[in-house]
Structure 1
Amino acid sequence: MTTGEGVIIVVDDDTSMSQAIERLLAAAGLRSRCFGSAEELLESGASSGAAVLILDIQLPGMSGLDLFRQLSSTGHVLPAIFITGQDRPNIREQAQKSGAVAYFTKPFEGRELIEVIHRHLPAA
């Protein structure tokens, strides 16, 4: 991906996780922008320039699942990768039903995350 093709949006309230993902994406030549909450992303308007979303499920305030549903309800449907530190079958099922392209439990393999992102980036 070149710098003009959109950005990977990361929403995770764990700063160290966000920074690790940001470094991983940069090493893969991908641009990213990190937010600590769903509300912060919504207020920024940055989702309009996004190529892929990486959303933590458990966030303060609005959850990652609720954020994705809200964006989707406005017609802003993007590939979403959900991440969580507390895997539960009902949450996994909700993520899959909402249209997740991937679901990872922390910690996860960076290589797998990059592979999923590349599969879902818009064609150049």
Structure 2
Amino acid sequence: MESSKVLAAIVDDELPVRKAVGRLLRSAGLEVQCFGSGAEFIDALAGGRPDCVILDVHMPGMTGFDVQARLHASGIRLPVIFITAFDDPDAAQRLEQAGAAGFLRKPFTDEELLQAIRLAVGAGDSKTERR
């Protein structure tokens, strides 16, 4: 019997980021769904939920904070690992308050992301941060 793979959703408005992170996660044995916007991701939830979400903080339209707020308002609890290229000193605190399972600043290493996913999926309420 084959064990089921972890399904990770990547939500980032930058195609190169989605492609690179998607390749990494697939090579690590995860299933991957990619979304170019928060709204696209929210709409897709009707078809099933991922085991974790890699979510860009700064996106046009619906930000990562907006997506997380929408999930909480709908009663959907998913481990979310926020990623950002912006160096906002208050971001880590705001993201933790928003219920983040992890927070990584770009650029991050492959191992940092994979470890954050392992922690998020394996211990639903574990927190990880890289400053």
- TM-score of the superposed pair, with normalisation by structure 2: 0.84
Q: For 1:12-23, what aligned pairs fall within 5 Å after superposition?
A: 12-23=12-23
SS in 1 for 2:39: helix
Shift of 1:47: 7.5
Structure 1 CA distance, aligned partners of 2:73 and 2:3? 28
Whether 2:89 is the aligned partner of 1:84: answer no
Once the two structures are superposed, residues 20-39 of structure 1 have per-residue CA deviations (whole angstroms, 9 ceiling, x without a partner) of: 00001011000110101001
Could you say which structure has the greater relative contact order, defined with CA pairs below 8 angstroms and 6 or more residues apart?
A: 1
Structure 2 CA distance, aligned partners of 1:104 and 1:20?
15
Q: Percent identity?
A: 35
Task: Say what the alpha-carbon RMSD is for the aligned residues.
Answer: 1.9
- C-alpha distance after superposition, 1:24-80 (max 9, x if no partner): 101100011010100111222267421001100001101011101111221111111
Does residue 118 of structure 2 align to residue 105 of structure 1?
no
Paired residue secondary structure (2:86): coil
In 2: Cα distance, 1:47 partner to 1:8 partner: 14
Say whether residues 1:114 and 2:114 are aligned partners: yes
CA 1:67–1:45: 2 relative to 1, 3 Å: same
Q: Is this contact kept in 1: 2:24–2:110, CA < 8 A?
A: yes
Contact kept in structure 1, 2:102 and 2:120, CA below 8 Å: no
Distance across 2 between alignment mates of 1:32 and 1:46: 17
Alignment of structure 1 residues 39-58 onto 2, 5 Å:
39-45=39-45, 48-58=48-58
**In structure 2, C-alpha distance between the alignment counterparts of 1:104 and 1:34, rounded to whole Å:** 18
Structure 2 residues not aligned, in runs of 5+? 124-131
Task: Return the alpha-carbon distance in structure 1 between the equivalents of residues 46 and 6 of structure 2.
Answer: 10
Structure 1's consecutive aligned runs of 4 or more residues displaced over 6 angstroms after TM superposition are none
Calculate the TM-score normalised by the size of structure 1. 0.88
